[in-house]
């Protein structure tokens, strides 16, 4: 679609194929820049103004991307989301069910956990702002932007080196 749109532009189809690919990659990079600029400040994870909280709980079970825990004092159950951006596990997930842990969490996101003063999972952020920034980085388009512009650079270099070789061989 992008290539066909660019082909309708003047002289695009007259360019060498590698230059066409470089131009398309560059345009895709610009699209990713716009997406990143638009979405990086709009994503809200509901962490504004929150402060980490802790509780002592049994891990009832491990679900897809979450822990179901039961508070030791009140018996209340809650689901704490596991995010690799916020928590680094020190033990396998299969080892968590049935264990009494002291958990730190931030509005439903698990940050850290200990058992007998030994860390079983370690928080990767200390405040709501840091955690929100780490979650935003996960959804960033910057990787795609870098890949698109790297593709442009590779194509331009390949075109430049290819045309140099061609001119060198064609000289009498």
Give me the residues paired with residue 42 across strands: none
Walk along the chain (172 residues) in steps of 10 and give the mean pLDDT of each run.
58 76 78 70 70 93 93 94 92 92 94 94 91 75 68 78 57 50
How far, CA to CA in Å, does 85 sit from each of 1, 66, 132? 35, 14, 10
What is the per-residue pLDDT for 48? 80
Which tokens in the block code for residue 32? 């990713």
Residue 86 burial (C-beta neighbours within 10 Å; 0-12, 13-18, 19+): buried
What is the per-residue pLDDT for 79? 96
- Are 112 and 104 in contact by the 8 Å Cβ rule? The answer is yes
Classified as helix, coil or strand, 61 is: strand
Pairwise CA distance, residues 89 & 84, whole Å = 8
- Are 18 and 24 in contact by the 8 Å Cβ rule? The answer is no
Four-residue CA torsion sign, 9, 15, 17, 22: negative
Which residue in 120, 121, 138 sits closest to 87, CA to CA?
A: 121
What is the per-residue pLDDT for 166? 47
What is the per-residue pLDDT for 26? 80
What is the per-residue pLDDT for 143? 66
How far, CA to CA in Å, does 134 sit from each of 50, 58, 70, 71, 86? 15, 27, 27, 27, 7
């Amino acid at each position: 679609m992008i290539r066909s749109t660019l082909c309708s532009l003047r002289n695009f189809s007259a360019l060498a194929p590698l230059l066409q690919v470089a131009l398309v990659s560059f345009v895709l990079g610009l699209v990713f820049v716009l997406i990143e600029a638009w979405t990086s400040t709009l994503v809200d994870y509901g962490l504004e103004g929150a402060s980490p909280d802790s509780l002592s709980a049994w891990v009832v079970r491990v679900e897809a991307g979450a822990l179901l825990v039961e508070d030791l004092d009140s018996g209340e159950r809650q689901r704490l989301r596991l995010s690799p951006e916020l928590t680094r596990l020190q033990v396998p997930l299969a080892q968590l069910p049935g264990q009494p842990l002291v958990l730190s969490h931030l509005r439903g996101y698990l940050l850290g956990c200990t058992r007998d003063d030994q860390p079983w999972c370690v928080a990767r952020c200390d405040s709501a702002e840091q955690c929100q920034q780490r979650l935003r980085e996960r959804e960033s388009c910057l990787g795609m932007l870098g890949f698109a512009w790297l593709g442009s650079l590779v194509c331009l270099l390949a075109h430049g080196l290819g045309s140099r070789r061609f001119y060198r061989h064609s000289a009498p």
